[in-house]
Amino acid sequence: MPAHRTYDEIIAKTVPDPDSSFRPNAHQRADALTRVEPPRDEQLAATVQEALREIGADHLSIDIDGGRVTLRGAVADMHTWRRIDAVVRNVPGVDTLDNRTHVG
């Protein structure tokens, strides 16, 4: 007949870190500190690019510095040029817009 093991003995052999849901171990802390998040500027540029795509102005050059967005390039008509300001300013994360685009 096999020897009876206690609950703690069973848990110690089957659960790698029984209290990890409450307190991370050293490896989990190190792993969390080394994860690389995409830079906020790249995320904002992608969101601005998508907003510009919806109005047909996705070919413009976009520079992001924090919440400041600078656009450069030419658009086809005045209607599109006017819409750029409203569309980009409505993107979450855009603090200021430097619209250096032109019609041409």
In a domain, residue 22? The reply is: no
pLDDT at 78: 94
| 28 located within any domain | no
Look at residue 37 in the predicted model and tell me its pLDDT: 61
Going from the C-alpha of 20 to that of each of 26, 30, 33, the distances in angstroms are: 10, 14, 16
* Model pLDDT, residue 36: 64
Question: Which DSSP letter does residue 1 get?
Answer: -
CB contact at 8 A, 33 and 24: no
pLDDT at 26: 79
Q: What is the CATH number of the domain that holds 54?
A: 3.30.1340.30
User: Distance between CA 93 and CA 91 in Å, rounded?
Assistant: 6
Residue 27 lies in a domain: no
DSSP secondary structure code for residue 76 in this structure:
S
Which pTM was predicted? 0.61
Per-residue pLDDT of the chain (104 residues; tens, 9 = 90+): 567 778 777 766 666 665 555 566 778 777 777 766 666 888 999 999 999 999 999 899 999 998 899 999 999 999 999 999 999 999 999 999 999 999 98
- The predicted structure's pLDDT at residue 4: 77
Q: What is residue 12's predicted lDDT score, i.e. its pLDDT?
A: 66
For residue 98, what pLDDT is reported? 95
- pLDDT reported for residue 16: 64
Specify if 9 maps to a domain.
Answer: no
Answer whether 6's CB lies under 8 Å from 14's CB: no
Q: How many domains does the chain have?
A: 1
